[in-house]
């Protein structure tokens, strides 16, 4: 298992919107043969955690499905499913539909089978500001800019950004942090490279020109922290980002709980890789 992205080399240990345009050919990364095999049991067992839709969102959902059909080809065995759920079963990404309601961008439908400590039940219907409220310092730094990005997003433009964190879990389905972080104290620091995972989010945003909404995708990649050490430059950038992370970033990501483990991991590899503290 390896990570195709290293977002800590870009913004380091701080929040950044970091949206960049990508070609349509790079929109979805693939890499999972049958996403429905993973997602269907979650939808059946935890429907309110992984799925939600608001009244009036079906036209936007259908337009989102049409975009997925263009990439994956249409299927005929999904009759009766909400369109966004049908679309999400066909791609590794989680899908979120944002729509302008009474002048406010709100999350009107989502299929969330790889949640990073939030649920569809809690997020459905929230505005951009409300969705980002838990992020320390987000509103004064980025709130207005994010609203402008959504309002100015033109058809045909696809934007991409990446995010990262560290967890003691390889699971994709992580709606709740408590049971995961309760196990941190049981990890032997010498095993940190195998017990900790770097979790990378690759996100995209594109306009739905017919209905006026926006489709937001979230793809999760994760790999053991040990794999970062396979590349000296990647490891050096990670060490710099970890040590230089802002207090707000560290607090939101819960890095304090992992400090001893990550520090032990870095110190064990610094001599051979010349990763020096900055």
Of residues 275 and 86, the one with the higher pLDDT is: 86
- pLDDT grade for 278, boundaries at 50, 70 and 90: very low
Residues in the chain: 278
**pLDDT tens track for 180-192:** 999 999 999 999 9
Instruction: Dump strand ranges (E) for the chain.
Output: 20-22, 51-53, 94-101, 104-111, 158-167, 197-207, 214-224
Confidence of residue 146 (pLDDT cuts 50, 70, 90): confident
179: confidence class by pLDDT, cuts 50, 70, 90: very high
pLDDT digits (tens, 9 = 90+) for 211-265: 999 999 999 999 999 999 999 999 999 999 999 999 999 999 999 999 999 999 9
Distance, CA of 275 to chain centre: 28
Is the model's pLDDT at 274 over the cut of 50?
no
> How far is Cα 48 from Cα 252, in angstroms, rounded to an integer?
25
pLDDT score, position 210: 97
Query: Could you report the per-residue pLDDT of 104-145, keeping only the tens digit for each?
Result: 999 999 999 999 999 999 999 999 989 988 777 776 777 788
* pLDDT reported for residue 18: 85
How would residue 76 be classed by pLDDT, with cut points 50, 70 and 90?
low
pTM of the full structure: 0.93
What confidence score (pLDDT) does residue 22 get?
97
Q: Which of 60-64, 71-75, 205-209, 270-274 has the lowest mean pLDDT?
A: 270-274
Instruction: Say what percent of the chain tops pLDDT 70.
Output: 95
Long-range contacts of 83-89 (CB under 8 A, 24+ apart): 83/58, 84/53, 84/57, 84/109, 84/110, 84/111, 85/43, 85/51, 85/111, 87/61, 87/111, 88/35, 88/39, 88/113, 89/35, 89/36, 89/39, 89/40
- pLDDT band at residue 41 under the 50/70/90 scheme: very high
Confidence band for 97, pLDDT divided at 50, 70 and 90: very high
The count of other CB atoms within 10 Å of the CB of residue 157 is 13
Average pLDDT of the residues in 5-27: 91
With 70 as the cut, is the pLDDT of residue 85 above it?
yes
- Taking all residues of the chain, what is their mean pLDDT, rounded to a whole number? 92
pLDDT of residue 1: 64
- Segment 80-84 shows an average pLDDT of 94
**What percentage of the chain reaches a pLDDT higher than 90?**
82
């Amino acid at each position: 298992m390896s990570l195709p992205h290293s977002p800590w080399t870009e913004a380091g240990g701080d929040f950044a919107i970091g949206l960049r345009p990508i070609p349509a050919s790079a929109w979805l990364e693939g890499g999972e043969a049958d996403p429905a095999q993973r997602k269907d049991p979650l939808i059946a067992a935890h429907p309110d955690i992984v799925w939600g839709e608001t009244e009036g969102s079906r036209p936007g959902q259908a337009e989102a499905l049409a975009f997925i059909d263009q990439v994956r080809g249409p299927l005929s065995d999904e009759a009766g499913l909400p369109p966004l759920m049908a679309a999400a079963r066909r791609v590794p990404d989680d899908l979120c539909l944002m729509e302008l309601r009474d002048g406010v961008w709100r999350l009107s439908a989502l299929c969330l089978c790889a949640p990073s400590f939030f649920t569809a039940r809690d997020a459905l219907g929230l505005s951009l500001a409300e969705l980002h409220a838990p992020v320390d310092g987000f509103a004064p730094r980025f709130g207005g800019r994010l609203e402008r990005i959504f309002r100015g997003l033109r058809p045909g433009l696809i934007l991409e950004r990446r995010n990262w964190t560290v967890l003691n879990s390889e699971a994709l389905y992580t709606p709740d942090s408590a049971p995961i972080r309760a196990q941190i104290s049981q990890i032997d620091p010498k095993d940190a490279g195998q017990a900790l995972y770097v979790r990378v989010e690759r996100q995209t945003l594109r306009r739905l020109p017919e209905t006026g909404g926006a489709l937001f995708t979230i793809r999760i990649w994760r790999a053991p922290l040990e794999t970062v050490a396979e590349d000296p430059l990647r490891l050096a950038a990670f060490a710099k980002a970890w040590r230089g992370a802002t207090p707000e970033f560290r607090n939101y990501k819960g890095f304090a709980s992992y400090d001893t483990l990550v520090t032990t991991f870095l110190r064990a590899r610094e001599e051979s890789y010349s990763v020096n503290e900055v």
